[in-house]
Amino acid sequence: MCSIMGYCGDADDILFEKGFSRTISRGPDASRIVDTGNGRLGFHRLSIMGLTPSGMQPFELDGSYVVCNGEIYGFEALKKALSDRYTFKSESDCEILLPMYREYGTDMFAMLDAEFVCIIYDGETGTYIAARDPIGIRPLYYGYDTKGTIVFASEPKNLVGLVDKIMPFPPGHYYKDGEFICYCDIAKVDAVCSDDLETVCRNIHDKLVAGVEKRLVADAKVGFLLSGGLDSSLVCAIAAKKSDVPIKTFAIGMKEDAIDLKYARQAAEYIGSDHREIIITKEDVIASLDKVIEILGTYDITTIRASMGMYLICKAIHEQTDLRVLLTGEISDELFGYKYTDFAPDAEAFQKEAEKRIRELHMYDVLRADRCISVNSLEARVPFGDLDFVRYVMSVDPELKRNTYGKGKYLLRHAFEGGGYLPDEILWREKAAFSDAVGHSLVDDLKAWAEDFYTDAEFEAGCRKYGHARPFTKESLLYREIFEKYYPGQSEMIADFWMPNKSWEGCNVDDPSARVLANYGDSGK
């Protein structure tokens, strides 16, 4: 990861530098702030592509500047097409952005196969343009100072004290001349794909393999998070087939009741990875809670629970290895369905829910992966978020994606049934929530801690303080009050709690864990 920031007008240098310094862990290798003549652009670098000093940002072209946190896949072809008109000085993928902007203007954003955010200062017009990838895998936030000047930054913590209201930059949009303009709604389906089941599964296989393969390209060392669940195991299995040496995989579990560790170990043995286990305790979890909520910038129960294990495993990877890039398994659930989507009343409802979840992912699972990984000076890459893959799966007839097979995510499982990717016990394993599978005691310990933190009277009074996303359990109140300590009055950065669709029969529950659903069954065993 890297960190970027742009103050799009007269800036208070001291406040800018203070805010920008809060995310140096995203880019500890080098830092630079430039005065554009009409504001400031800042960049903290984590060296991944083009490791030499020539790859340092902001890049400049005839008085225009750009800062970008991202990976642009297939940039070599774009660079080659531009090389007869522009001279490139580095091997950085992001150096192509200013030449592309010069040639194509804001049409360039729809041309990118990337997970990215960028801020461009157009030296000719004296204006700023910013953009974010269609899923929002890379973070960007914005707000306005007291003079009405817009400020952009990688994380909300950069903007605390600089702006009144902090909001996430909408994915698939670019900002220009005071407006946010959608260039790609990745969840929208223009035409439903009519491919038969076997064709669909063959395409899912080929597109996911391509998505993993392109994310293995890096000038820095790459590792993998392996929970032992279907999604991360598939990413690791594909990568292992593409690698000439054993890939490095990592799993985490509670000391008392780690569910995932045995499955991760089994998957690692099968694919022949260099595997490492991280064991954590109740004390590790409780001691990290305040820090995790600070780095996340959320009060959402699901996100925080799932972040405890992810933060601690990434912390261990940072401290014990020289890896810089981690591939993860996020976004599969939103595409193929989760335990609660088994309750969708029909195909139309399933598809509508998938569209909603994909559009909101940047506030939840994608946010979790970014913050837990980046705060430990690592970069996240998400193969299930490959744009070509997402577009295709979203377009598949939702009737095929619904769980009418007696097994969730049947299409994804069937797509990799041949080829020796995974043992059947992993490929057909029931879905288990990550926070639960790290150990049921992780969630139970957090809930018990919150129960002891408040009396019933204190809980009732505490909940009444909040209008937006009002807490409804002692656990949610505890998280909200820690959040408010670091981000006072900024709850609208998150739309609401990530919960099952309460309007569906069987989903009107008061806890986001799939453990409370009637169909959870043997998922956590």
Name the residue ranges covered by the structural domains of the chain.
3-182, 197-516
Among 290, 310, 242, which Cα is nearest to 446's? 290
- What's the number of CA atoms in the CB half-sphere (13 Å) around residue 413? 21
pLDDT reported for residue 3: 96
CATH fold match for the domains 3-182 and 197-516: no
Question: What pLDDT is attached to residue 476?
Answer: 97
Nearest to 362 by CA among 44, 133, 73, 131: 133
* Catalytic site positions: 2
347: Cβ–Cβ under 8 A, 6 or more apart, which residues? Answer: 397, 398, 399, 401, 402
Tell me the pLDDT tens digit for each residue of 8-66. Answer: 999 889 999 999 999 999 999 999 999 999 999 999 998 877 667 888 999 999 999 99
3-182 belongs to which homologous superfamily? Aminohydrolase, N-terminal nucleophile (Ntn) domain (3.60.20.10)
In the sheet where 222-225 sits, what is the strand order? 274-280, 248-254, 222-225, 325-327, 379-381
What residue ranges of the chain have pLDDT lower than 70?
Answer: 50-51, 431-437, 439, 521-525
pLDDT score for 140: 98
341 contact partners, CB below 8 Å, separation of at least 6: 350, 353, 354, 402, 403, 408
Burial class (CB in 10 A: 0-12, 13-18, 19+), 149: middle
- The H or E element that residue 224 is part of is strand 222-225
DSSP-assigned letters across all residues of 486-504? HSTT-GGGS-S-----TTS
CATH homologous superfamily, domain 197-516: HUPs (3.40.50.620)
Among residues 452, 326, 309, 450, which one has the least CA distance to residue 377? 326
Q: Say if residue 198 is exposed, middle or buried (CB neighbours under 10 Å; 0-12, 13-18, 19+).
A: exposed
pLDDT tens-digit map of 334-373: 999 988 999 999 999 999 999 999 999 999 999 999 999 9
Whole-prediction pTM value? 0.95
pLDDT at 523: 55
DSSP structural state of residue 346 = S
- Give the whole-angstrom CA distance, residue 158 versus residue 32: 15
Query: 254 with 438: CB under 8 angstroms?
Result: yes
What pLDDT is recorded for position 454?
A: 96
What the block records as the tokens of 290 is: 């305040």
What pLDDT, on a 0 to 100 scale, did the predictor assign at position 430? 81
Residue at 252: amino acid letter:
I
Measure the CA–CA gap between 311 and 369, rounded to whole angstroms.
9
DSSP-based helix, strand, coil % in the chain, nearest 5: 45, 15, 40
The residue type at 240 = A
Residue 456: both structure tokens together: 């019933």
